[in-house]
Copies of this chain bind each other. A is one copy, B any other.
Amino acid sequence: MMVDAITLVNGRTVTAEHAAVVGRTNAAVCCPSVLAAPLDARSAGQLARGFGALGDPVRLRLLSMLAAAPAGEICVCEFVAPIGKSQGTVSHHLRILSEAGLVHGDRRGKWVWYSLDHARLAQLRSALDTQP
């Protein structure tokens, strides 16, 4: 039960824990670019977590499916068959993506619908920009 559910301005809801992770991420990764200036160890660690979440074929395919979804969201049950992994494994990868701030899960009834966090993707993309 989502006792800690938080309603966002866009109408979606996330758990308090989830919001805390995203909030911390947004605040911390306030634009460190890998290529613009020398990275300190802390910033490097935070960016590495984001890129590490992208460093798995299964997770890239999950993101790819989300990006191609007309409605911008897919429920977990729709992932399992195309990915070809067990439901537990898919849930595991979705959790890693969620903790990295790349996707958000929204429970509606029995199903949980996942959608991309385009802002977080833009952050990681800009981290690879040569220009500050």
Contact = CB atoms under 8 A, between A and B. Distances in A.
Which bucket holds chain A's interface residue count?
Answer: 35 or more
Contacts of A38: 61, 64-65, 67-68
A123 to B, nearest CB: 9
A132 to B, nearest CB: 9
A36 to B, nearest CB: 7
A122 B130 CA distance: 9
A17 to B, nearest CB: 8
Interface of A: 12, 17-18, 21, 24, 28, 31, 33-39, 41, 44-45, 47-49, 51-61, 63-65, 67-71, 74, 78, 81-83, 108-109, 111, 116, 118, 121-122, 124-125, 128-130
A121 B125 contact: no
B82 A18 contact: no
A17 B77 CA distance: 14
Nearest to A67: B35
Contact of A60 (B31, B39, B60): B39
